[in-house]
Each structure stands twice: as structure tokens, then as C-alpha cells.
């Protein structure tokens, strides 16, 4: 049995050796042989044998027109004839690639007696490829084949006519087709400024400390994104047609007195300027133009002309203010005859809303949350769009009813003046004094920055120190509750005694009073019987353990048709209105004191 197993194992090893030998033969002999045969077949089918890196020159002859192109370096080409001009790298690379990879599908005739039927007696195109070492290769392009997308071609001195599927559209190019059409060779980051002369006015944009500023008819800080996008559009624009390489006269193109002159100042080792002039319309969608670097006349497409014709106000910064919050010293808001002046207290730059006080109409505290919100909105609100207009009074800006003025520490001020709304009431027209530009604001943003005294003042009625509270009395028309605190324990002493009531009851009443805000205030009108002072809805008295008054609130009758209640605070003149829900937040029955849900 062992002998049988050994024989089977030996047989297996023999078969493994056979397969290994076959695999080695295929890998070392057959596959390289097939690869070599395929390479030989590819070389035999190629029209021209060369490598792109060896090409030094190209000559394209189309009838009597000859175009000569010379390589300058690895990535650039120069047209030398019929004009001296930079060639399009992509167009030349594509042409060379098409020639390098072009193949023939078959030999039509080895030595035809007549080559006229193939269009090769007068080829539509003769391409000569000049290689390193002086070697040249040429290809003649004849007629298109009546069947399939192929052309008749001949190479060099060969008399044979081949049929090739090369793309004639790629290689049959004129000098105009192969020219580099890019206008400006600059990087946006290198631009130090530019000027734009249009409609008899010159607008200048300069860069300083990474900020762009407009000067001219429109003055002010520019929107960096708008400026960069504008420069990118100009930098990437191309010429459409080349009209005249050496113009004798410019008036026929409207370039003696151009409608647009764009000049860009570039930095670097040596500052230099580039100027583009735009003249008359050549044909629909195109305008004559001239570049200072070359002096030739060409045409521009309408998109670039439209870009260069932009109104200067569209470049203005869409932020309402450029001040940092810490730089703001005061804010003045004028609204329908009411003037509110907010002032930052000295030495409190980092205190947020707590650093501000109302100095007009009276010296009093402000609502810190409202001030923080106002400061945020002044920085956050953006112009919806700029509007060009000569008659400000038509937009309600001749004598605006609402103005917000922000003053910085150094004395610089900017005012935002609010005019009328549009018919849909979703936009308001406004103007700022820093650049006198008129613009539109969203209606919701108007409400954010044009605040009233009511919005900004501190409307809390009480500021009770919870640790000092020792007694609370709640008096309703038909019942009264008295809470007494000892250490951290609250007890109810009337209408019945409960030795320990939930601690959150006493703390909750104090918290509710401290967060109670009035909705309106009246310090001049006298109280009347309709306000409910004779029979109030609720009296709240808060005292210290030593029976020192800490707060006393009287809640009167509800206002007719409104979710409001009259209220008075002892020691304060006049009266207030508060929200009705206040009564819901103060305990009014025994179940609340027993800890049961209302």
C-alpha cells in the first residue's frame, strides 16, 4: 500500500513539473514573442515613427499658406510664420499627438499611375516634422475616403497611397487656429491694483494689507471676493479673432478713443503695467481690442466686455460695517423722532453687552443680550444688492426717518440711512455714509439693526438677591399665602401650616420675579380705576429675614383685548404692562405648595 502511495505521489510531481515547464515556456517565449510581433505590427501600421520629445519644429503648408512653429522649451511653442506669435500649447500638443499615433488601415496602391483621384496631386495639407539631429518626416493629406471616416495620405518620398483614420480636423490647422488666444499672463495674487476707464470716468482699485479699496466716482472698501472674481474673469479671457497684426490706423476700430481702457499693475521683482483697450463693435457679440504688449488688433467676446463694463458700486464691500466689535465706542439710533444713544464704558472692551449703557434719553442700564445681538447683527448683516440712482429722495433717502450711526474709538463714524421699501415690502432702500452708495436690505435685516429704546433697555423689574430672601407673601383677592425661609428650608405659614414645602417653590418665585420684564412703561399718565389698583389680581411682597422690603409688585386688571396686565412696583413712579402668563407662573392654590402638579 505504501508503494502504491509513493508511485501516485511521484506521478503528481511529474505532472507539476510538466505544467511548470509549460508555464515558463509561455511566459518566457510565447508572450514576449507575441508582444514583439504586436510591436512590429504597430510600427508597420504607423504613418510616422517619432517621439513627441524629439520634435523641434513643425511646418504646415496649406496651398500657398505656410505656418512654421518652433519649440521654445518643453512646454511652449512659438509661431514664426506667417506671424510672430505665441502658439497654443494644447493645440500644438494635440496636433503632434495625432501625428505620432496616426495609423493606416491599408495600402490603397503601391505606385499609382495617377494620384489626382486621391487628392494628392495638390494635397490639402503637407505637414513636415523636424526632429532632433536634422531628420525630417512629412505627410501629405489628400481627399476623404467616400466610405468611412478616413483620408488618403502619402509619407515622405514614398509613392504608395495609404488609407488612414487620422483626424484631419486636428492637424489641418491655420496659424490663426494654432495661436495662443490668452490675453493676460498674470496671476491674480501678483496684482497690486488696476484702473478701469469707462463712460468718461476712471475707477481705481488698489490693494493694501490684503484689503482692496475703490477710489474715483465710488469710494470705499471693496469686496475682496468680487475683485478676485473679476480679475480671474479677465485673466482667463481669450481673444476671439485676430484682425490686424500691424495696424496703420486705430480710428477705424474705435481704438484711438476706446470705450473701455483696463490697466492692471503687477508687482514682483519689477513692477509693470498691462493695458487692454476696447473699441467699436466688430460684429454682434464681438468688439475690437488692442493689448499694450503686442499692439495687434483682435476681437473680444461679449462676456468679457460685459465684465469690464460693470458698475463700480457692485464691487463695494457688502458688509455694512468694517469695524471690529471692540473698536466701536458708541451707537446712535434715530427712529421716527426717537434718539437712542448707547455708549461703551471705558475700559470694558471685553465685557460684551455688559460694557454698554444708555446715555440718551436717560442714563440707565441696557439689556446685555439685546446689545450683544445688535453688535452681532451690525457685523453679520449683508447688503442684498447695490442700486444705481441719482435721485435719493425718490427712495425716501432725502430725509430718512431712521438712521443708525456707529462711531469707532478713533472718531471715525459710519451712518446707515434707511429709506422706503419696495412694493413687495421685502426690501428696503438704504445708504451708508462711508461710500454714499445706495443699496437694498432684506426686510428682516432692517428689523435687526434698527432697534428701538424698548428693544435695548433693561426691562427687568427686579434684581433680588435670592440669598437674602426670608419671607414671601402672595395676596390674591380671595386668598393669601405666606412663605418663610429658615436656612435652606421653606415653610408655609398661611392659610395653613406646612412645615416643609418643596424648595423649588420659593426659589421659583424669586427666579420668576428676577426674569419678569415689562412690555411697556408709562411714567406720565396718571393711574385710573380701570387699572385695578383698588382690587388687584395679585400682590407680591418679598422681604429679608429681618423683614426688610426687597421687592413689592402689584398686579392690576387685564388690558382690554390684549394679553397684558397692568402692574406697579413700589418705589417706582408710573406703571407698567406685563404678560398675562406671569400669573400662571406664581403659585395660587394649596396643591402647588403641597408639591402636586397644577
Three-class SS of 417-476: EEEEECCCCCEEEEEECCCCCEEEEEHHHHHHHCCCHHHHECCECCCCCHHHEEEEEEEE
> Is 518 part of any domain?
yes
* Three cell numbers written together for 191: 496684482
Between CA 298 and CA 303, with CA 301 as vertex, the angle to 5 degrees is: 145
**Do 228 and 288 reside in the same domain of the chain?**
yes
* Three cell numbers written together for 58: 513643425
Nearest partner of 276 among 264, 266, 291, 286, judged by Cα? 291
Domain boundary among 178, 212, 229: 178
> Is 461 part of any domain?
no
Query: Which residues make beta-bridge pairs with 289?
Result: 278, 298
CA distance 223 to 213: 9
> Is 296 part of any domain?
yes
For residue 553, the surrounding DSSP H or E stretch is strand 549-558
82 cis-preceded (ω within 30 degrees of 0):
yes
Provide the H-helix boundaries in 102-223.
168-171, 175-178
> Is 598 part of any domain?
no
Provide the H-helix boundaries in 257-408.
302-308, 368-380
**Do 18 and 91 reside in the same domain of the chain?**
no
**Do 165 and 194 reside in the same domain of the chain?**
no
**Do 470 and 405 reside in the same domain of the chain?**
no
CA distance 417 to 242: 50
Which region holds residue 265: left if phi is over 0, alpha if psi is between -120 and 50, else beta?
beta
For residue 215, the surrounding DSSP H or E stretch is strand 211-215
Cα 545–chain centre separation = 61
Q: From first to last of its 598 residues, what are the pLDDT tens digits of the chain?
A: 555 555 666 667 777 777 776 766 656 655 555 555 655 566 678 999 999 999 999 999 999 999 999 999 988 999 999 999 999 999 999 999 999 999 998 899 999 999 999 999 999 999 999 999 999 999 999 999 988 789 999 998 889 999 999 999 999 999 999 999 988 878 888 899 999 999 888 999 999 888 899 998 888 889 999 999 999 999 888 999 999 989 999 999 999 999 999 999 998 778 889 999 999 999 888 999 998 888 899 999 999 999 999 888 889 999 988 888 888 999 999 988 889 999 988 765 565 556 888 888 877 778 888 999 999 999 999 999 988 887 888 999 988 989 999 999 888 899 999 999 999 999 999 999 888 788 999 999 999 999 888 888 888 999 999 999 999 999 999 999 999 999 889 999 999 999 888 888 999 999 999 999 999 888 777 767 789 888 999 999 999 999 999 999 999 999 988 899 999 999 888 899 999 999 889 998 898 888 776 5
> Contact 242/229 with Cβ under 8 angstroms?
no
> Is 418 part of any domain?
yes
**Do 193 and 295 reside in the same domain of the chain?**
yes
CA distance 362 to 231: 51
pLDDT value of position 95 = 95
Q: Which long-range contacts (CB under 8 A, 24 or more apart) does 408-411 make?
A: 408/323, 408/327, 408/328, 408/329, 409/327, 409/328, 409/329, 410/327
pTM of the predicted model, to two decimals?
0.66
CATH classification at residue 271: 2.60.40
How many residues in the chain?
A: 598
Cα 14–chain centre separation = 74
pLDDT value of position 164 = 93
DSSP for residue 26? I
Please tell me the total count of domains within the chain: 5
CA distance 182 to 180: 6
Structural domain span for residue 116: 52-178
CA distances from 238 to 180, 301, 302 (A): 8, 8, 11
**Do 339 and 450 reside in the same domain of the chain?**
yes
**Do 569 and 448 reside in the same domain of the chain?**
no
Side-chain-side CA neighbours of 111 within 13 Å: the count stands at 0
> Is 202 part of any domain?
yes
**Do 156 and 237 reside in the same domain of the chain?**
no
Nearest partner of 418 among 336, 341, 495, judged by Cα? 336
Nearest partner of 420 among 412, 429, 411, judged by Cα? 429
For residue 541, the surrounding DSSP H or E stretch is strand 538-544
pLDDT value of position 29 = 57
> Contact 286/191 with Cβ under 8 angstroms?
no
**Do 443 and 521 reside in the same domain of the chain?**
no
> Is 46 part of any domain?
no
**Do 472 and 573 reside in the same domain of the chain?**
yes
DSSP for residue 534? S
Classify residue 176 by burial, with Cβ atoms within 10 Å: 0-12, 13-18, 19+. Answer: middle
**Do 195 and 307 reside in the same domain of the chain?**
yes
Domain boundary among 149, 178, 207: 178
pLDDT value of position 591 = 86
pLDDT value of position 25 = 62
Domain boundary among 315, 350, 373: 315
- Tally of helices (H runs) and strands (E runs) in the chain: 13, 36
**Do 342 and 271 reside in the same domain of the chain?**
no
pLDDT value of position 254 = 94
What does the buried/exposed string (b/e) look like for 128-150 if buried means 16 or more CB atoms within 10 Å of the residue's CB?
A: bbbeeeeeebbbbbbeebeeeeb
Amino acid at each position: 500500500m505504501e508503494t502504491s502511495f509513493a508511485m501516485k505521489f511521484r506521478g503528481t510531481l511529474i505532472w507539476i513539473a510538466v505544467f511548470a515547464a509549460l508555464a515558463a515556456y509561455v511566459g518566457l517565449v510565447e508572450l514576449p514573442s507575441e508582444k514583439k510581433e504586436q510591436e512590429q505590427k504597430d510600427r508597420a501600421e504607423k504613418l510616422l515613427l517619432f517621439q513627441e520629445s524629439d520634435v523641434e519644429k513643425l511646418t504646415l503648408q496649406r496651398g500657398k499658406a505656410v505656418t512654421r512653429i518652433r519649440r521654445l522649451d518643453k512646454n511652449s511653442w512659438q509661431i514664426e510664420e506667417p506671424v510672430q506669435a505665441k502658439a497654443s500649447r494644447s493645440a500644438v500638443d494635440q496636433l503632434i499627438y495625432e501625428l505620432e499615433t496616426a495609423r493606416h488601415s491599408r495600402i490603397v496602391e503601391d505606385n499609382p499611375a495617377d494620384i489626382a483621384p486621391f487628392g494628392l496631386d495638390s494635397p490639402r495639407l503637407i505637414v513636415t516634422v523636424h526632429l532632433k539631429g536634422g531628420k525630417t518626416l512629412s505627410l501629405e493629406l489628400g481627399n476623404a475616403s467616400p466610405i468611412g471616416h478616413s483620408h488618403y495620405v502619402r509619407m515622405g518620398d514614398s509613392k504608395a497611397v495609404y488609407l488612414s483614420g487620422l483626424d484631419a480636423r486636428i492637424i489641418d490647422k491655420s496659424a490663426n487656429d494654432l495661436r495662443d488666444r490668452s490675453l493676460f499672463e498674470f496671476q491674480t495674487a501678483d496684482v497690486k491694483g488696476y484702473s478701469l476707464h469707462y463712460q468718461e470716468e476712471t475707477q481705481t482699485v488698489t490693494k493694501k494689507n490684503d484689503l482692496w479699496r475703490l477710489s474715483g466716482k465710488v469710494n470705499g472698501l471693496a469686496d475682496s471676493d468680487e475683485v478676485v472674481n473679476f480679475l480671474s474673469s479677465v485673466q482667463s479671457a481669450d481673444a476671439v479673432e485676430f484682425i490686424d497684426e500691424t495696424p496703420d490706423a486705430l480710428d477705424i476700430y474705435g481704438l484711438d478713443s476706446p470705450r473701455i481702457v483696463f490697466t492692471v499693475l503687477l508687482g514682483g521683482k519689477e513692477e509693470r503695467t498691462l493695458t487692454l483697450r476696447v473699441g467699436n463693435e466688430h460684429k454682434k457679440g464681438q468688439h475690437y481690442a488692442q493689448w499694450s504688449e503686442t499692439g495687434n488688433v483682435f476681437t473680444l467676446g461679449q462676456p468679457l466686455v460685459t465684465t469690464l463694463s460693470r458698475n463700480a458700486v457692485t464691487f463695494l464691500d457688502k458688509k455694512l460695517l468694517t469695524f471690529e466689535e471692540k473698536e466701536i465706542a458708541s451707537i446712535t439710533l434715530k427712529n421716527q423722532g426717537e434718539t437712542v444713544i448707547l455708549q461703551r464704558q471705558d475700559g470694558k472692551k471685553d465685557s460684551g453687552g455688559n460694557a454698554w449703557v444708555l446715555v440718551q434719553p436717560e442714563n440707565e442700564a441696557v439689556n446685555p443680550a439685546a446689545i450683544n445681538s445688535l453688535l452681532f447683527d451690525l457685523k453679520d448683516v449683508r447688503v442684498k444688492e447695490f442700486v444705481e440712482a441719482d435721485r435719493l429722495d425718490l427712495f425716501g433717502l432725502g430725509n430718512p426717518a431712521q438712521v443708525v450711526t456707529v462711531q469707532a474709538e478713533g472718531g471715525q463714524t459710519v451712518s446707515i440711512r434707511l429709506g422706503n421699501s419696495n412694493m413687495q415690502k421685502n426690501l428696503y432702500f438704504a445708504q451708508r455714509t462711508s461710500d454714499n452708495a445706495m443699496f437694498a436690505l432684506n426686510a428682516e435685516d432692517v428689523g435687526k439693526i434698527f432697534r428701538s429704546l424698548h428693544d435695548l433697555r433693561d426691562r427687568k423689574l427686579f434684581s433680588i438677591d435670592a440669598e437674602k430672601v426670608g419671607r414671601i407673601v402672595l395676596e390674591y383677592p380671595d386668598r393669601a399665602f405666606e412663605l418663610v425661609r429658615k436656612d435652606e428650608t421653606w415653610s408655609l405659614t398661611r392659610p395653613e401650616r406646612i412645615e416643609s414645602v418643596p424648595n423649588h417653590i420659593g426659589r421659583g418665585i424669586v427666579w420668576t420675579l428676577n426674569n419678569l420684564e415689562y412690555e411697556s412703561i408709562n411714567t406720565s399718565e396718571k393711574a385710573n380705576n380701570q387699572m385695578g389698583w383698588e382690587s388687584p389680581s395679585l400682590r407680591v411682597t418679598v422681604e429679608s429675614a429681618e423683614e426688610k422690603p426687597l421687592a413689592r409688585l402689584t398686579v392690576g386688571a387685564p388690558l382690554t383685548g390684549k394679553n397684558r396686565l397692568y402692574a406697579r412696583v413700589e418705589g417706582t413712579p408710573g406703571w407698567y404692562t406685563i404678560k398675562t402668563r406671569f400669573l400662571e407662573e406664581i403659585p395660587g392654590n394649596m396643591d402647588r405648595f403641597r408639591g402636586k402638579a397644577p
